[in-house]
Amino acid sequence: MKYEKEINRRKSFAIISHPDAGKTTLTEKFLLFGGAIQTAGAVKSNKIKKHATSDFMEIERQRGISVATSVMTFEYEGFLINLLDTPGHKDFAEDTYRTLTAVDSVVLVVDSVNGVEDQTRRLMEVCRMRDTPVIVFINKMDRDGKNRFDLLEEIEKELNISLHPMTLPINSGKDFKGVYNLHEKNLLLFAANTKTEDASAIIEDLNDAILDKKIGENDATILREDVELVDGVYGELNVKDYLKGKVAPVFFGSAVNNFGVKEMLDTFIRIAPTPRNRETTVREVAAEEDKFSGFVFKIHANLDPKHRDRIAFLRVCSGKFERNKYYKHVRLEKDIRFSNPYSFLARSKDIIEDAYPGDVVGLFDTGNFKIGDTLTEGERFYFTGIPSFSPEIFKELVNKDPMKTKQMEKGISQLTDEGVAQLFTQFGGNKKIIGCVGELQFEVIQYRLLQEYGAAVEFRTLPFYKACWLTSTDNKKLEEFLRFKQQNSAEDKDGNPVYLAQSEWFLNTEISNNPDIQFHFTSEIH
Ligand code: G4P
């Protein structure tokens, strides 16, 4: 195994959270520990604060920021860590879902005041689909949050995952005194904005009176009871179960105060998976294989409006990626090479010579790539498990300038390749239907079609709420259904049949009326 050493020192992960739970703050602390940045405040949040703004320059600017900080690579304790950023704004959720296909594990941030929020639920669903190992960080313990056990119960129930507390908090809000590390068996005392390492006290025996002295008799008693309870219920963390995505270790802390973050990072280093094997349409590809393979999970366009360049984000899955070497673009059946691939070191983009499994490489692209494309050293396969999710808002694309039909078609085809939106074509009618997760994307599409392709379009709202991909072993039944439901059926970009449901009621009725047809809420890109 030629590249074992490189592979075993890499850990690639993403931080996910509902907006405002503290993802940006936590990212920054990680980078500080990794020495990738020197001062707090260096990481800019990429969230789009305004909703449905018509200030597109702002969107573009925000997009610019998000590409610069899309992947942050830093070293910590001899490991090379790739932290993949995910957009917090819910309108860009698809982007986040796809980024999750490129990581080997996830840190989930939960706000101790708000508990489990909408966005968290959906992101966790994606992690569960892929059995992604998850570490949970319960943030903002310096605020009056929910009771620690209520929080654990809520997360377990709402996110349908078993938790394993690694630390236990002593109170919250202004009475927050710190966390007890169940694994290290030491107490970390909380003092806002200080170097917390100095404050940590090792307490080998919880019955030691020093505990009462440090946190007061009352809280010491509660902590002893908590620890007894938790030890009795959970015992030692089973790392294998974590790696299978069955159990998630939990830490309590306060990101803004840099409290409890190092404990989590140290555990992350110890247990988080190195690049894992990946399924393809043909066989499982092991990270350790000599031959290079990788796939595109994100495409970012229009960094420089004058050049209309795109950057394809490639996750290396096996072997070694090398600059200027020819690789097979499986879908296009053509060999291509890259003279300026770059890596994403926290501050600047650097041209790189090579990359290993777990790394993300930025490839300049003039329109060759779409999401899910695979590069290999000759073998033909696609990586699987890169899903498309049903959009939530559907609009008909109306061409305002028939002279520009060609430009519009090209533009919408490229934008949907990038994954900005999904395109459905109604059977029979040829109506173009654009499906997005959020309103913001329609504005982005309209703006970009005009700016980049000179095509003026508008949108007409359609009464659909979900798209379901249809399969059946009985082709005749499927064809019949599609003919009968012409108003509600369409094909996606790859020609797969889709049912567009007006409401949950309609959908459930069709599901029960058509037992021979399977309705899928996601579709595999390959
Ligand atoms: P996000 O990326 O998940 O959207 O969240 P972000 O880190 O931007 O944090 C959202 C807000 O929560 C920020 O305040 C941040 O300072 C605050 N925050 C993060 N961690 C903690 C914590 O442990 N305790 C408390 N009390 N607050 C925390 P903001 O006012 O929105 O922004 P800023 O002006 O402070 O940057």
Protein residue closest via CA to atom 29 of ligand 1: 20
Ligand 1 neighbours, Cβ below 6 Å, are: 17, 19-25, 45, 47, 88, 139-140, 142-143, 254-257
In-domain check, residue 436: yes
The beta strand positions in 402-496, using DSSP E, are 422-426, 432-436, 457-461, 466-472, 489-491
Residues 183 and 204 in one domain: yes
Compute the distance from residue 20 Cα to the ligand 1 centre, in Å: 6
Q: Work out whether strand 247-252 and strand 134-139 pair parallel, antiparallel, or are unpaired.
A: parallel
Q: With contact defined as beta carbons under 8 Å apart, do 470 and 479 qualify? A: no
Q: How far is CA 459 from the centre of its chain?
A: 29
Compute the distance from residue 175 Cα to the ligand 1 centre, in Å: 20
In-domain check, residue 526: no
Residue 4: predicted pLDDT: 92
Residues 329 and 419 in one domain: no
CA dihedral 22, 23, 29, 32 (to 10 degrees): -150
Protein residue closest via CA to atom 30 of ligand 1: 20
Compute the distance from residue 238 Cα to the ligand 1 centre, in Å: 32
Residues 314 and 445 in one domain: no
Compute the distance from residue 68 Cα to the ligand 1 centre, in Å: 21
Residues 367 and 417 in one domain: no
Residues 230 and 298 in one domain: no
Alpha-carbon torsion (415, 92, 45, 356), positive or negative: negative
Residue to mutate, 25, 47, 257, ligand 1, most ligand atoms under 8 Å from C-beta? 25
Task: Please give the C-alpha separations between residue 38 and each of 43, 253, 265, 345, 435, in angstroms, as whole numbers.
Answer: 11, 22, 18, 14, 42
Annotated binding site: 17-24, 85-89, 139-142
Whole-structure pTM over 0.90, yes or no? no
Compute the distance from residue 247 Cα to the ligand 1 centre, in Å: 27
Q: With contact defined as beta carbons under 8 Å apart, do 101 and 33 qualify? A: no
Residue 438: predicted pLDDT: 81
CA dihedral 60, 348, 370, 382 (to 10 degrees): -150
Residues 434 and 495 in one domain: yes
In-domain check, residue 384: no
Give the CATH number, domain containing residue 482. 3.30.70.3280
Annotated binding site for GTP: 17-24, 85-89, 139-142
Domain boundary among 276, 310, 339: 276
Residues 358 and 498 in one domain: no
In-domain check, residue 324: yes
Residues 410 and 445 in one domain: yes
Residues 108 and 180 in one domain: yes
- Amino acid 367 reads G
Residues of the chain with pLDDT below 70 are 36-69, 88-89, 192-199, 302-308, 344-349, 525-526
Say how far apart CA 1 and CA 7 lie, in whole Å. Answer: 10
Residues 27 and 116 in one domain: yes
Domain count, the chain: 3
Protein residue closest via CA to atom 15 of ligand 1: 22
φ, ψ for residue 424, nearest 5 deg: -125, 145
Domain boundary among 351, 376, 401: 376
In-domain check, residue 249: yes
Residue 41: predicted pLDDT: 56
Residue 388: predicted pLDDT: 82
Residue 47: predicted pLDDT: 47
Select from 321, 328, 410, 325 the least CA-distant residue to 362.
321
Give the CATH number, domain containing residue 310. 3.40.50.300
Residue 43: predicted pLDDT: 57
Per-residue model confidence as pLDDT tens digits over 195-248: 555 567 778 888 889 889 888 999 999 999 999 999 888 888 999 999 999 999
Q: First-to-last CA distance in the chain?
A: 29
Protein residue closest via CA to atom 14 of ligand 1: 20
The residue range of the domain holding 363 is 279-376
Domain boundary among 376, 411, 428: 376
In-domain check, residue 119: yes
Residues 262 and 297 in one domain: no
Residues 295 and 403 in one domain: no
In-domain check, residue 510: yes
In-domain check, residue 381: no
